[in-house]
A and B are shown apart, each in its own frame.
Chain A
């Protein structure tokens, strides 16, 4: 998983724009977790599939919350590549699909989710510290607090699962076996 260390100088000027970013981030999270759930289901890893679907459901509630906060406002329509995220052009909660593995365990799934939330914290902190508008800064700080709470909840959730031992991805009948 890559670290979100590459900062851009982009400044979000209005709360509408910030809400559009927030909405895109949460929608990407829903789509990503649904896609990961589908991948695990196709590969008969049902325990992790269910967990990803649960994460998608939770992110869906975040989408609802952003939509409620946006009521009465007209959000700009920003194309996927026009978003100025701080990590290689990908939404904080939308990347790192290459970290999925068909033998991954619940601990890994939560680790992946936690990493996305941490990137979201970093993004909104970046927005807050670069804001030139007081309302944008205040909203960004609220979003930082929310995302930090998500990280904390995921950390608690992760403690329910043991950290997998080395070699968790060993497969005695691997798909690479030539029949």
Chain B
């Protein structure tokens, strides 16, 4: 707590744009929007110094609802765009946002390699275990026995993707899980994720009340992680493989240096530039 007068600081609502979200009433993504604004306010990041990058899906609408810079990109490519931006403009706070389908299926390959590359940015995945925008198909994180997907009667029958385990194995430097029902707690986790050097993954359990109404009960099933974050990947792996997906909190803080290529020396004469393109 600081002894500063609140009105001199940027308040969370000042990070919101004037566009009204079109998410379904009751959607968890409203809580995440609030958490992002609280985290940005907590860090007092000027809106022009932050960029929110997304792919496609309900949660990928996030940049529209914020007053920071933003880019609503193509399906599954949020991390590729965000990495490019961070490398070109390292002074910006870059946050990629999206859902489980966008991030782990269509964008699955980018996810693996962004974890490996470890750029200094944050990835917020609003995981509702369903494709909501396209009306309720099973996603990579859907339980194999979920029978209500029109394309998967009887369930998918295949193991769900384990994003935190995969992130750890691939080299992500900060791994956390949170819930949209805990907007303030999630804000703190996002703030820590932004502060931590390297690639930070925050999986936020964010119910889809339209296609997965049973997820309203998630908030009663959450378990605060019994131990603080570890920097030991082996210990983190043991925890992540046994937590049944409901432990919340910061689960891993690594110490790998972030990826940041040194800028190429600029070419300032036409002959050199010509040489670059000679076949």
Contacts and interface: CB of A to CB of B under 8 A. Distances in A.
B13 interface: yes
Contacts of A176: 135-136, 210-211
B97 to A, nearest CB: 18
A145 interface: no
B5 A90 contact: no
A76 B3 contact: yes
Interface string A41-79: 111000000000000000000000000000000111111
A42 B22 contact: yes
Nearest to B222: A88
A102 interface: yes
B210 A77 contact: no
Interface stretch (B111-119, B176-184, B195-203, B266-274): B176-184
Interface string B201-232: 00000010111000010011000000000000
B242 interface: no
A3 B21 CA distance: 28
Contacts of B150: 178
Nearest to B6: A77
Given A98-B207, A98-B209, A176-B211, A74 B5 contact: yes
Interface string B128-152: 0000000110000000000000100
Contacts of A148: none
Given A2-B219, A38-B21, A97-B30, A81 B3 contact: no
Contacts of B219: 2, 88, 98
A36 interface: yes
Contacts of A78: 1
Interface in B4-47: 4-6, 9, 12-13, 20-26, 28, 30-31, 38, 41-42
Interface in A98-112: 98-102, 104
Contacts of B30: 35, 39, 97
Contacts of A164: none
B155 interface: no
Nearest to A91: B184
Contacts of A91: 184
B75 interface: no
Given A38-B20, A97-B30, A43 B25 contact: yes
B187 interface: yes
Contact of A77 (B9, B12, B207): B9
Contacts of A23: 6
Given A31-B13, A38-B21, A101 B38 contact: no
Nearest to A37: B20
A62 B141 CA distance: 44
Contacts of A41: 20
Interface in A78-99: 78-83, 88-91, 94-95, 97-99
Interface of B: 1-6, 9, 12-13, 20-26, 28, 30-31, 38, 41-42, 135-136, 150, 181-185, 187-188, 207, 209-211, 216, 219-220
For the complex of A and B, list the 4 residue pairs with the smallest distance between their C-beta atoms, beginning with the closest: A100-B25, A81-B188, A38-B20, A80-B38
